[in-house]
Amino acid sequence: MKIALITDSTSYLTKEEVKDNNIIVVPIPVIVGDKEFKEGIDITADQLFRMQDAGAAFPKTSQPSMGEMISLFNRLHDEGYDAIITITLAGTISGFNQTLMNIARTNPEYNLYPYDSKITIRLMGYLVLAAAKMIKNGLSAEEIITRLDEIRDSIDELFIVDDLNNLSRGGRLSNAGAFIGTMLHIKPLLTFDDDSDKIVAFDKVRSMKRAVKKVESLTLEKVNKLPFKQDLRFLVVHSNDATQAEEIKSWVNENFPENPVEVGEFGPVIGTHLGEKSIGITWMKDINKVKLN
């Protein structure tokens, strides 16, 4: 079976990974005022935050156009692909996956498999790389989706947002909550909630320093309960706060010395929603320790 693999730009794959695994990456648009930029092509998180500091309009994100996706699917269909798997950012952040599901229903000839990663950033990137390995190993589209579910179930994350205004303006939290949080210097602790399919604030801590300590404590508590703890890979993610991220990486290394850990950044799309100085500790099963054949 010849299977095409598509993801979006919030997976943060390297150019080498994309090329070596025949992955198609669709950029997510970021809109600032009357200008549209494409993540991974003509805007970075640093550029976005600089524009904000200079007084630019509040940024918004959009979806790739349906016409663009139909054109891509037509091309892949004409090239003889028997199935197309799309792995996209969480439906809590974007309606992109829902759009693809609608296309799949109305265009059965594509044999399209839209997959909601229920996450984003490099965690989603590893799901994409796992799918790429399974395609190379000759698994069917249905088998790949089943294995992806198993890996996705191992993902967990704890985020700290420095300023609630971005989430508030993006419709993720109420304006009142954003105002109170900003005035009292409260740092909300967030996670992706599978039951409600939303980003939820599960605690609030005064000061970033205390919030980081709380997240570290919760990470220890959650991870040490996992039966597959030894198979985890950690990822510390930040929005323009590399120093804090490296400090947390050192903490992870000290407490989980047997597990790989890396530092990544929230790109402009996720930065639009979480804002500058956000940070998170995340983990998932290392795809190098998962059966992919």
| Percentage above 90 pLDDT, the chain | 78
| Percentage above 70 pLDDT, the chain | 91
Q: Which of 41-50, 117-126, 181-190 has the lowest mean pLDDT?
A: 181-190
- The structure tokens 């570290």 sit at 216
Q: What is the dihedral of CA 125, 130, 134, 137, to 10 degrees?
A: 110
Q: Are 27 and 8 in contact (CB under 8 A)?
A: yes
Q: What per-residue confidence (pLDDT) applies to 275? A: 87
Q: How far is residue 256's CA from residue 8's CA, in Å, rounded to a whole number?
A: 31
Q: How far is residue 32's CA from residue 211's CA, in Å, rounded to a whole number?
A: 30
What is each CA distance from 175 to 93, 164, 169, 179, 180, in whole angstroms?
18, 9, 7, 6, 9
Q: What per-residue confidence (pLDDT) applies to 177? A: 55
- For the stretch 32-89, pLDDT in tens is 999 999 999 999 999 999 998 899 998 999 999 999 999 999 999 999 999 999 999 9
Contacts of 198 (CB under 8 A, 6+ apart): 92, 172, 192
> Where are the chain's structural domains?
3-28+63-152, 156-289
How many Cα atoms are found within 13 Å in the side-chain-facing hemisphere of 148?
31
Give, in degrees to the nearest 5, the angle at Cα 129 between 123 and 133. Answer: 145
Residue 175 has pLDDT above 50, yes or no: no
pTM for the full model? 0.93
What percentage of the chain's residues is helix, strand, coil (to nearest 5)? 45, 25, 30
Q: What per-residue confidence (pLDDT) applies to 170? A: 55
Report the CATH number of the 3-28+63-152 domain: 3.40.50.10170
DSSP state of 217: H
Q: What per-residue confidence (pLDDT) applies to 184? A: 63
The strand ranges marked E within 130-257 are 156-160, 186-193, 198-206, 232-238
Q: Helix, strand or coil for residue 80?
A: coil
Q: What per-residue confidence (pLDDT) applies to 115? A: 98
Q: What per-residue confidence (pLDDT) applies to 179? A: 47
Which pLDDT band, with edges at 50, 70 and 90, does 174 fall under?
Answer: very low
Which pLDDT band, with edges at 50, 70 and 90, does 193 fall under?
Answer: confident
Report the CATH number of the 156-289 domain: 3.30.1180.10
